[in-house]
Amino acid sequence: MVTLIKEEIGTHNNETVWKYTWRTLSGFSLSAITYGAIVQSIKVPDKNGITADVVLGFDDLQGYQTRNTPYLGAAVGRCANRIGGAKFTIDDVHYTLAKNVGQDHLHGGIVGFDKANWKSVIDGTKVIFSHFSKDGDEGYPGDLVINITYEVKDDDTFHVEFQSTTTKKTVVNMTNHSYFNLAGHEYGAQELYNHVFVINADKITETTSESIPTGRFLEVGGTPFDFRAAKKLGDVINRADNLFDDNFCVSTYGNKGLNFVSRVVHPSSGRFLEVYSDQPGVQFYTSNFLPSPSEAALVGKDGVGYRKHGAFCLETQNFPDAVHHTNFPRAVLYPGEVYKHSVVYKFGAEKSHEPVVFVS
């Protein structure tokens, strides 16, 4: 049995911001707020029944309004990831977008969907978040209507459904940008390196030094990007550079329905996350641009200082910059079409009677 409660947590632009919390009989819970359609908290029991919050975030609304440049937990759009040169052309019409990462456009621009307070309605144990993005927002053409449905089910799965329609041809590629650490949000890089990953991808999209796709693909075999068999992150990550922040091409994309994307396990706690999606790609990101150890930490929930390599993201998506590459899946939404994107996050714990020990 799933319970759902709603509470007021503040205001944004004189509108009420609501928080929704789902709970299941296992002790699993998930909280999301209308500001940014942000997933604020996901609490998962470990193999001994000890619950920890496994996503990075802030305790209060103000944290998201003033400090959330990393998009912690947010719904991002219109277009997740990068658009090279912050511009594109549709039907010989040139559109210039907001530049918010060098000369490029990232995650919808300066005021993207992560900074909107979404309307919301409850439908049983589902919450439907709605937003209207007017023609010209951040440079994008067309009035866009977006609905995102969040639902937690009895089996501790979190279901997300994105849908949108437009009045003009436009670019749409949405995702959720939750940062996970299955040891608990407070444990940082030391425990993240102990996570074991499988990613269902035999190639990645090659990128420039500015993370803009070249249009070519790189086979993962024989490289640190090969997670087709389970690998401990600490064995393959270069702790001094920016691995990983790459689009992995889901090998089974094109099969009807949801495809297996990834499985991640934190062995000490037994907690695992499985991701299933109908999208062609997934951005695997290891929080490279959170503050380094020599910098002041980003202070999050419970006063925890978040730093580089303190969490991972699995952002299901179309390929980045797809509007510029005819060999990528189409990123342009036409009037009369419905953009759809489904993703399921399954949480659980591999059962064991071994004690849980962390070294901080």
Catalytic residue IDs: 177, 315
Scored b (16 or more CB within 10 A) or e, 169-205 reads ebbbbbbbbbbbbbbbbbbbbebbbbbbbbbbbbbbb
82: annotated binding-site residue? Answer: yes
Q: Which of 340, 342, 318 is nearest to 330 (CA)?
A: 318
Map residue 165 onto helix, strand or coil: strand
Tokens, residue 276: 């299933």
Q: How far apart are CA 79 and CA 270, in angstroms?
A: 35
Most distant pair of Cα atoms in the chain: their distance? 64
Query: How far, CA to CA in Å, does 207 sit from each of 160, 214, 295?
Result: 28, 5, 27
Map residue 214 onto helix, strand or coil: strand
81: annotated binding-site residue? Answer: yes
Residue whose entry in the numeric block shows the structure tokens 């600490």: 234
Strands (E), 182-279: 196-199, 201-207, 213-219, 231-232, 245-250, 259-265, 271-277
179: annotated binding-site residue? Answer: yes
Query: How far, CA to CA in Å, does 88 sit from each of 98, 167, 215, 274, 322?
Result: 12, 18, 15, 35, 10
DSSP conformational letter for 70: T
255: annotated binding-site residue? Answer: no
Q: Which of 335, 322, 338, 297 is nearest to 80 (CA)?
A: 322
Residue 182 backbone dihedrals phi, psi, to 5 degrees: -75, -15
Binding-site residues for beta-D-galactose = 81-82, 177-179, 245
Binding-site residues = 81-82, 177-179, 245
